[in-house]
Amino acid sequence: MGQMPPRYPRDFHGHGADRPDAAWPGGARIALSFVLNYEEGGENCLLHGDAASEAFLSEIVGAAAWPGQRHWNMESIYDYGARSGFWRLHRLFTETSVPVTIYGVASALARNPAQVEAMQNADWEIASHGLKWIDYRDHDPKDEAADMDAAIKLHTEVTGEPPKGWYTGRCSVNTVALAAARGFDWISDTYDDDLPYWSRIDGRDQLIIPYTLDCNDMRFATPQGFNSGDQFFAYLRDSFDALYAEGVAGRPAMLSIGLHCRLIGRPGRVQALRKFIDYVQGFEGVWCARRADIATHWAANHPPQPRTDWHLMERADFVTAFGGIFEHSPWIAEGAHALELGPAHDTPQGLHNALCRVFRAASDDQRLAVLRAHPDLAGKLAAAKRLTDESTAEQASAGLDMLTDGERAQFDAQNTAYVAKHGFPFIIAVKDHDKAGILRAFERRIDNDNATEFAEACKQVERIARLRLEAL
Which residues are annotated as catalytic?
A: 374
The DSSP-derived string for 109-149 is HHT-HHHHHHHHHTT-EEEE--SSB---TT--HHHHHHHHH
| HSE-up (13 A, CA, CB side) for residue 217 | 27
Nearest by Cα to 168 from 61, 157, 152, 160: 152
The DSSP-derived string for 4-61 is P--B----S-TT-SSPPP---GGG-SEEEEEEEEE-TTTBS-GGGT-SB---SSSSST
Instruction: Please list, in sequence order, all residues whose beta carbon lies within 8 angstroms of the beta carbon of residue 326, skipping any fewer than 6 positions away.
Output: 332, 333, 355, 359, 370, 461, 465
Could you tell me how many residues make up the chain? 472
Nearest by Cα to 425 from 350, 374, 466: 374
Map residue 286 onto helix, strand or coil. strand
Beta bridge partners of 205: 200
- For residues 425 and 376, the answer to whether their CB atoms sit within 8 Å is yes
